[in-house]
A and B are shown apart, each in its own frame.
Chain A
Amino acid sequence: MALLTIVILDGFVFAAVLFLSVGLTLIFGVLRILNISHGGIYALGAYLGTYLALKVLDLGLSPYLTYVMLLVGAVIIGVITGPLLERLFLRRVYGQAEAIQLLLTFSILLILDDLIKLIWGTAPLMVSTPSTLLGHVSFAGITYTWYHFLLIGISIVFGGALVWLVRGTRFGKIVVSVINDREISIAVGINVNRIYTLAFTLGALCAALGGAAVAPTIAVAPGFAVEVGVQSFAVIAIGGMGSLEGAALGALLVGLVRALAIHTFPELELVVIYVLMLIVLMVKPEGLFGEVELRRI
């Protein structure tokens, strides 16, 4: 029983992957491009958030401002990289071969990775104040920090807000219509280009937020986003590419399965994620919540 509780709590702490995956699946749903550079935006969000938080602490201001700085850093990154990448690069490869699109985003990832090294150097950045400020709490005999629960809360709220945005608002309905049929949307008068940019920016914002939220719990160093990045691919493949609920469920599943493996068979910790992905893709190739793609003749 205690093991189960621990595993569930550890699984929930996988909020970072959740943020990342939700953004990734949104971008895929709208633009039909798998954005490999997503991990790079996540890293940028973590770096800028950490940097601003450290500046605030250096200036001697209230430590609670670090939370604000993390948010600000993430928003800046999302709002800058989103339109920039979409307009400058992605727009040119819509409709081209998949290989070209994937490679474009892969190249952007490489550039972002080195850009981070050029701006912030190669030494790791650490700001732990946000995660230790709120103190700790005991649960099932194990101590957790309140920040972990805050992360869980934020990701649930954010996920819910995103779902509401897509299903409940007019903007969301427009996005859904663009996802379903681009041509008809243009015919109806929707500015599809702008929707694309907005969707990508939203996805980038998610990634940057994920990075900034997780940064206080780790040491932010070049290359720290690689593992999480590829796990987010697994998550959206499991959940269904293009489905927000799928991304949430996928992140939860992957987190739980990984935590279970660490506590019982540590050797299988990484294997289970990809085996799960393989099984889901073989049984239901479009993912748990994905829509079947019809072959258009």
Chain B
Amino acid sequence: MSRFQKPYTHWWLSLCSIGLVVCIIYAAVVAAQTKGAPKELKLGFVDFFSGSAAIFGVSGKNAAELLVEKWNKEGGIKGVPVKMVEVDENGGPDKQVTEYRRLVLDEKVDAIVGYTSSANCLAIAPLAEELQTLTVVHICGTRRLTEENKLKYVFRTSNHQVADSVMAARYVLAVKPELKTVAGANEDYAWGRDSWDDFKAALLQLKPDVHIVGEVWTKIQAGEYSAEISKLLSLKPEVVHSTFWGGGLVTFVKQAAARELFKNSLVILPVLEQSFQDLKNETPEGVIALPRATAGYFLYPDPQSHPLQKEFVEAYKARFGRYPDYPAYRTYQAFAGLKAAYEKAMDQAGRWPKTEEVMKAFEDLTWQTPIGPVTMRADHQAVHAGIVGLSKMSPQFGFAIMAQLKEMAVDQIMPPVGIKSTDWLKTLK
């Protein structure tokens, strides 16, 4: 009897103790995960993955995937893994409105990050308010997004185009103080229109005797610019300002360079930095180039002395074979800001926060990125510094980089909270 019972007793004992240990571990794991936390944080990511703007959107996608994977390896945001649902921004604002609805109602995402095109972010902003979904706009530049509406659910984590225009105006006058004639070549939608208007306003405020000799307007990502280039050549301006971007900009630069536009005029291209690696050695020298008004690019701040920058640049290059460009940095800014907001809200609430708590935590938040700090304001517009320079071929890299770099501080380039850009530009010094 005893010989039979002993194994039985041992068996039950072992089972119970194992069960107890398992329960303890389980309880510990559950406690480590925040109380009331969802199974996963589902984020929608919207950018251009097809069409002429794809070379632009792919950078953002790469940065997003890099970051999300890194976070999930570390356990997610306070223990909750992040799942990304990617949606193509190609196809026009009405398609984007439908896709936004689908992300919220069908995919049931917790928040949406994205929107490069100014037309699209203006279209989805009212929808975000209607569907009460936290939306973080990462790149879209039109100032109208944050100035014309009081935003509740929408946040923009990077400077808007007023900063680009003001930096361009200040820099061109520093390079060419006796400037007389300027022409514009821009795309006929919110981005192109607002950027050109603000550039003109800033320039004329800083130097009222400049003469605007002409402007050409093209469709978004038009791809064919011969007639427009002919017109620019015939106007013979000293300076040409153009906010073409992505595939359209690459085509424009190639077509214009072949016809010596860059020899005849000093050209300002606020979005040129993104195209450096696509143009390779076809980038003309001495073009005023910006990564829009972003606080840095892959060489500035110097990765060797800034660990966060070094980590990001090296990881990005190793994985994708390219150096991160400004869409990659702005995507980093957006995701890092969102994560910081969630963490701050969680610390304040002591459990997984509701959307409204995250929104509240996001306001007046400052977070770190590889190129410096970003601060979100109460009007849901974030601000940071910006850099500008002249394009110069680099034999080391095989594409152009920025030379004669100048960094401009926030108060020099972005209007303060509560002041409309159009009014602020009139007071520029």
Contacts and interface: CB of A to CB of B under 8 A. Distances in A.
A271 interface: no
Interface stretch (A2-10, A61-69, A196-204, A277-285): A2-10
Contacts of B221: 221
Contact of A123 (B54, B260, B282): B54
Contact of B247 (A124, A148, A217): A124
B55 A10 contact: no
B49 interface: yes
A145 B223 CA distance: 17
Contacts of A169: none
B259 A122 contact: no
A2 B231 CA distance: 11
B54 A124 contact: yes
Interface in A125-142: 126, 128, 131-132, 136, 141-142
Contact of A221 (B223, B233, B234): B223
A263 interface: yes
Contacts, number: 87
Given A136-B258, A136-B260, A219 B223 contact: yes
Interface string A232-263: 00000000000000000000000000110011
A221 B234 CA distance: 29
A123 B226 contact: no
B43 to A, nearest CB: 22
Contact of A143 (B49, B247, B250, B260): B260
A218 B224 contact: yes
Contact of B234 (A123, A132, A141): A141
A127 to B, nearest CB: 10
A247 B49 CA distance: 37
Contacts of A142: 230, 233-234, 259
Nearest to A263: B231
Contact of A224 (B216, B223, B282): B223
Determine which residue in A10, A219, A221, A259 has the highest number of CB atoms from chain B within 10 A of its CB, and name it: A219
A9 B226 CA distance: 10
Interface SS of A by simple majority: mixed
A173 interface: no
B345 to A, nearest CB: 37
Main secondary structure of the interface of B (DSSP, over half): helix
A9 B49 contact: no
A147 to B, nearest CB: 8
Given A10-B230, A131-B258, A142-B233, A222 B251 contact: no
A126 B258 contact: no
Interface residues of B, number: 29
B255 A10 contact: no
Nearest to A142: B233
B52 A224 contact: yes
B217 interface: yes
A218 B260 contact: no
Contacts of A95: none
A92 interface: no
B234 A2 contact: yes
Contact of A145 (B227, B234, B248, B259): B259
A10 B230 CA distance: 8
Given A124-B55, A126-B251, A263-B231, A217 B226 contact: yes
B10 to A, nearest CB: 63
Nearest to A261: B227
Nearest to B49: A122
Given A122-B51, A142-B233, 12 more contacts: A6-B234, A10-B230, A13-B227, A122-B50, A124-B247, A124-B250, A132-B258, A142-B234, A219-B247, A221-B52, A221-B54, A263-B230
